Amino acid sequence: MERTHTNGELRLSDTGKEVTLLGWVAKRRNFGALVFIDLRDRTGITQLVFDETLAEQIKDVRNEYILQVSGTVLERKDKNPKLATGDIEVKVNEVSIINSAETTPIIVADDTDALEDTRLKYRYLDLRRPIMQNKLMMRHKITHSMREYLDSKDFIEIETPMLGRSTPEGARDYLVPSRVHPGSFYALPQSPQLYKQLLMVSGFERYYQFARCFRDEDLRADRQTDFTQVDLETSFLSDVEIQTMMEEMLQKLMKDVKGMDISIPFPRLTWEEAMNRYGSDKPDNRFAMELQDITELFINCGFKVFQDCIANAGSIKAVVVPDKASMTRKEIDKITELAKKNGAKGLVTLKYLNGEVSGPIVKFLSEDEIHALIERLTLKENDLVLIVSDKWRITCEVLGALRNHFGSLLGLKKKDEFSYLWVTDFPMFEYSEEDGRWYAMHHPFTRPRDEDMQYIDTDPGKVHAIAYDVVLNGYELGGGSLRIYDGAMQDKMFEVLGFTEEKIQENFGWFVDALKYGTPPHGGLAFGLDRIAMILSESDSIRDVIAFPKNANAKCPMSDAPTPVDEEQLQELHITITEKE
Amino acid sequence: MERTHTNGELRLSDTGKEVTLLGWVAKRRNFGALVFIDLRDRTGITQLVFDETLAEQIKDVRNEYILQVSGTVLERKDKNPKLATGDIEVKVNEVSIINSAETTPIIVADDTDALEDTRLKYRYLDLRRPIMQNKLMMRHKITHSMREYLDSKDFIEIETPMLGRSTPEGARDYLVPSRVHPGSFYALPQSPQLYKQLLMVSGFERYYQFARCFRDEDLRADRQTDFTQVDLETSFLSDVEIQTMMEEMLQKLMKDVKGMDISIPFPRLTWEEAMNRYGSDKPDNRFAMELQDITELFINCGFKVFQDCIANAGSIKAVVVPDKASMTRKEIDKITELAKKNGAKGLVTLKYLNGEVSGPIVKFLSEDEIHALIERLTLKENDLVLIVSDKWRITCEVLGALRNHFGSLLGLKKKDEFSYLWVTDFPMFEYSEEDGRWYAMHHPFTRPRDEDMQYIDTDPGKVHAIAYDVVLNGYELGGGSLRIYDGAMQDKMFEVLGFTEEKIQENFGWFVDALKYGTPPHGGLAFGLDRIAMILSESDSIRDVIAFPKNANAKCPMSDAPTPVDEEQLQELHITITEKE
């Protein structure tokens, strides 16, 4: 008696066949002298029927027992159209119990009301739920599809070190004390950035890796202690050539995994345009509600806030939310709160009801201004208008956050709609008022646009990077850039970032040296695999597409990691604990 | 001017074509007014010819400059049969210098006399050597081939945690201090063993992963701080069914990567037979020189060492080394030394010269015994006979080591010959005299043979595991087993290993609990990818098939990792250093 079929396989055309199935009991119900059992494996569910001759043998069988059964495929009287195998059932004539099961602490079914920590504690049962199995199987399909594309383009997968060197820039490193070198530490990689560039120096031309990366940051719904990056790098290609390949890869991915045809090239927005229109460097363009610049309407405005804003070279922008003029004072207070949380000093709201604009600031506006506003924003009955006036970037970001908020609230973010775009021409540097220095917006190895190099000493804020992000449904799916490939330009970059010669030598000397020996022009990209899997599987959290994730407290509720360890282990590592939980 | 071909591509049939090539200058030589340059990329080398019209433009060009050239493909007068493109050359009519290069600290050519630490310090140049590029490209081909097979058999790749829990059994863990949980540590995985078993509990049925694994052990030629494991697990299959799949996978691998047809099934040896015949649990059967048991010849022997051995139920075994009877006393002393290093108290050597057996112990042997020995070992002129008499396992292991030694010495280990076999039926337990307890030979989750369970309480040494290793050319390429799938048997196993209830609960409770809820029979295997790549690429060290390996001192000579870190970083991790290098 050897398994002949899986539980997702049998159809009406199999009627009459003798089959052997294996799987878990998903449901058992008695019906007179008959017993019906739904048998589950990773491919689906098949209904089994046992008559009284087998009653004794299966009397103890209940949910999550493992059975092997042989029997005959019969057409079902009550067909179940929701089930792929719903046209048939198997009349069992032989059964063997492979293993028994205690009552499970969580119910093994798609719908669950278990708390997430309970689900993570019994993850092996949580993953038995078909919905979860399908998510991980989709993740596999995704990696398979991407690998297939990259292999077809002669990319080579190369593994880079997991135990690397700690570097001061960027996020916080996870450290690993060395037993052999007392007082020294390895760092787990935040990304294979320098290694993949060195592989280009080595002449590999096209590299990829599904790389585990680590950042010791506080966790959120879409963050984990470690994550998987689809990391790639190429030599001798332009930014557009790289982007085109990635578009092809994602087009194939959508076809392979979702059966959807998407068109390429994706829309391209410069960073400035993305900020202006969506208030975000990762715009969700599944819905419109774009930001509209209305600064010019208020050049001679009597409203002091607008006056000051314009005097300080700021921007006044608006977002129109349809059908929300009926919001209560309380609801609007909440929106104002959200605006402030995102950096606004205040939020102006206007309602357009019965052909009239109303709102606290209306009294400060002229008839002409109100009329111009209605026209400019093409207001419709029941529109709610959100206006922010501040420095350009703050105005954009605040309205971007509000736009996102209302996009969700109005149900405009359809999970089964997938909208890709590129954001390009990022600023090379960001100035930190707090630290009084420039930071690299991507990283210090990003190549600036040639035509902007004239500003690098005098006005670094004007320099754009040849950097690009792929955005899907408001998530940054991946990002990359062309890289600097000559030492002099790299030195200049470090200079703008205020690195001392000593710091450069100490931290990056080993890398910068490599640029001297015939480095090819190169550039690449890295995708967040967890995010791709989350979005394509239409999940709410990346934890749903990771087999054994950490909770928001960086703990694994199943194994309890991290844990205290033996004193002896610490001694061998030449460290001691200064504080205990 | 866009690249039209790679440097490994052009053939005689391309003569007359206008082409554009890109690559590194591998060699430059002047020949009258002409300049010849070998242009290299990852696919090969093409010879370029520059005439005097371009002399000025390329006057500074030397090794490792990057050029882009356009020109015409011509038939070569002096063909180079060693080069795939050796029939042609490209007469350049346009050249552009993409990047310059300083003199490289190591020579970029297949042959190198650079010290390994120098090669590792400038790894990006070392990897530019075609021989090294080919090794890493072969490694990619290997993973590609294996993935293809596993995907075709419905295996699903699932990533398991990199930050797990430290467990006391097994090798030393690399620890990662937790910032969020003061005094607690994650451990980097030694293998995904428990996680892959839990995935079977979850019902995934067929899992694989190319998993990075970590053991903080002292390094050797075939050890690294971390290594890559082709890890897989299946449900509902027998040991032979699993082995058959693996044979198919390796058969495909040999075809895809080496173009070789190998036959399956592989020979299967029980562990006992492997020890008896080869003195090793990973026999290299590319050559014979098998161990021969000669205990029975000396039942009534006058030689006291043999007498004592037999009285103590020991074994006397011999290995015959052809053509080595001429070894000098000094050479034989060295062999004796090697025997002692492997645990022997002594080594008996005999020579067979001119039809006579000679050697120090001959005087203790009878005519009949000598005659029986000649016949039993079918000695030939000039044979050297190595005899060890000790406890069975020591006798086997010592002669196994000597057999290996002479296999190398006699050039019997051909690098381009690939001999696979299975070793099965390992003992479940090994007794440690030192610790006075039994240890699991594989791991405590290995399933014992049903028929041996009767001995588990009374004579654990008699219990065999359903465990199997794949051996290639004397290397353990992979190993696996069927696993325990019921809690009672798992408890029994822990009992034999002397684990207290408390220790079990503390360390494995989370795992053992999972066995209660309907665990399928399951089993799997893990292959050492680095080793496979090393052997198939005919390399001497796994460092040759790892892009950026650590040296034998667990250090990366390129990045200098591990390094000291800022005090601030340690404070955040709630640890302090007790000793500095």
Q: What is the pLDDT of residues A302-359, one digit of tens each?
A: 899 999 999 999 999 999 999 999 999 999 999 999 999 999 999 999 999 999 999 9
What b/e sequence results for B567-578 when a residue is b if at least 16 CB atoms lie within 10 Å of its CB, and e otherwise?
eebbeebbbebe
- The tens digit of pLDDT for each residue in B115-165 reads 999 999 999 999 999 999 999 999 999 999 999 999 999 999 999 999 999
N-term to C-term CA, chain A: 55
3-state secondary structure of B100: coil
At B303, the amino acid letter reads F
In CATH, the architecture of B287-413 is 2-Layer Sandwich (3.30)
Instruction: Write the pLDDT tens digit of every residue in B118-132.
Output: 999 999 999 999 999
Beta carbons of B24 and A518 less than 8 Å apart: yes
Q: What is the DSSP letter of A551?
A: -
Q: Which CATH superfamily is domain A12-99 in?
A: Nucleic acid-binding proteins (2.40.50.140)
Residue among A41, A64, A225 whose CB faces B517 most closely: A64
User: Which residue reads 């080993």 in tokens?
Assistant: A510
B143–A157: do the CB atoms touch at under 8 Å?
A: yes
Q: Is A518 within 8 Å of B100 (Cβ atoms)?
A: yes
C-alpha to C-alpha distance for B507 and B488, rounded to whole angstroms: 17
A60 appears as a binding residue in the annotation: no
Cis-peptide, bond into residue B265, ω within 30° of zero: yes
Residue B199 · residue B217 · CB < 8 Å:
no
Q: Is A442 annotated as a binding residue?
A: yes
Tokens for A408, please give them.
Answer: 């969700």
Model pLDDT, residue A506: 83
* Predicted pLDDT at A32: 92
Cβ neighbours of B179 in A, within 8 Å: 172, 216
pLDDT of residue B168: 74
Contact partners, residue A189, CB within 8 Å, separation at least 6 = A160, A161, A162, A164, A195, A211, A212, A213, A214
- pLDDT-derived band at A212 (thresholds 50, 70, 90) equals very high
- Say whether the peptide bond before residue B161 is cis (omega within 30 degrees of 0): no
pLDDT exceeds 70 at position A67: yes
For A399, list phi and psi in degrees, rounded to 5.
-70, -30
Q: What is the DSSP string of A190-258?
A: S-SHHHHHHHHHTT--EEEEEEEEE------TT--SEEEEEEEEEES--HHHHHHHHHHHHHHHHHHHH
What does DSSP say about strands B475-482 and B467-472: parallel, antiparallel, or unpaired?
antiparallel
Q: If we measure between CA atoms, which residue out of B472, B340, B331, B345 comes closest to residue B406? A: B331
SS3 B376: helix
Contacts of the segment A431-437: beta carbons below 8 A, 24+ positions apart: A431/A460, A431/A461, A437/A497, A437/A498
Are B131 and B110 contacting, i.e. CB atoms less than 8 angstroms apart? yes
Closest CA to B411 of B347, B530, B322, B539: B322
Beta-bridged to residue A37, according to DSSP, are A28, A48
Q: What is the pLDDT of residues A86-107, one digit of tens each?
A: 999 999 999 999 999 999 999 9
pLDDT digits (tens, 9 = 90+) for B470-484: 999 999 999 999 999
- What Rg, from alpha-carbon coordinates, does chain A have? 30
3-class SS of residue B53: helix
- The pLDDT, as a whole number, for residue A548 is 98
Amino acid letter for position B259: G
d(CA A103, CA A101) in angstroms, rounded, equals: 6
Grade residue A62 by pLDDT with cuts at 50, 70 and 90: very high
* Type of residue numbered A361: I
Nearest to A530 by CA among A136, A261, A243: A136
Using a CB-CB cut-off of 8 Å, the residues of chain A touching B201 are: 124-125, 128
Lookup: tokens for A29: 């119900």
Q: What do you get for the CA distance between the two ends of chain B, in Å?
A: 55
Give residue A158's pLDDT band: very low, low, confident or very high (50, 70, 90).
very high
Cβ neighbours of residue B413 closer than 8 Å, sequence gap 6 or more: B284, B286, B287, B407, B473, B474
- Cβ-nearest to A178 among B65, B158, B554: B554
Report the gap between the CA of B312 and the closest CA in chain A (Å).
40
> Is the peptide bond prior to A564 cis by the omega test (within 30 degrees of 0)?
no
| pLDDT value of position B221 | 66
Contact B419, B285 (CB under 8 A): yes
- Is A221 a residue whose pLDDT tops 70? no
Distance of residue B545 Cα from the nearest chain A Cα, in angstroms: 10
Total Cβ atoms within 10 A of residue B539: 18
- Give me the CATH topology for the region B132-269+421-567: BirA Bifunctional Protein; domain 2 (3.30.930)
Distance of alpha carbon B373 from alpha carbon B348, whole angstroms:
13
pLDDT for A475 beyond 80: yes
ipTM: 0.95
Q: Is the pLDDT of residue A258 over 80?
A: yes
Helix runs in B67-156, H state only: 116-121, 123-126, 130-152
Question: How many interface pairs between A and B have CB atoms less than 8 angstroms apart?
Answer: 334
Is residue B16 packed enough to be buried (19+ CB in 10 Å), middle (13-18) or exposed (0-12)? exposed
**What's the number of CA atoms in the CB half-sphere (13 Å) around residue B358?**
9
Is A290 annotated as ligand-binding? no
Nearest CB to A102; choose among B98, B100, B517: B517
For residue B201, the surrounding DSSP H or E stretch is: helix B193-201
Tens digit of each residue's pLDDT (9 = 90 or more) over B222-276 = 789 999 999 999 999 999 999 999 999 999 999 999 999 999 999 999 999 999 9
A504 band by pLDDT with thresholds 50, 70 and 90: confident
The domains of chain A are located at 12-99, 132-269+421-567, 287-413
For residues B39 and B67, the answer to whether their CB atoms sit within 8 Å is: yes
Chain B hits for A566, Cβ within 8 Å = 168
Mean pLDDT of B516-538: 97
Distance CA A87, CA A46 (A): 10
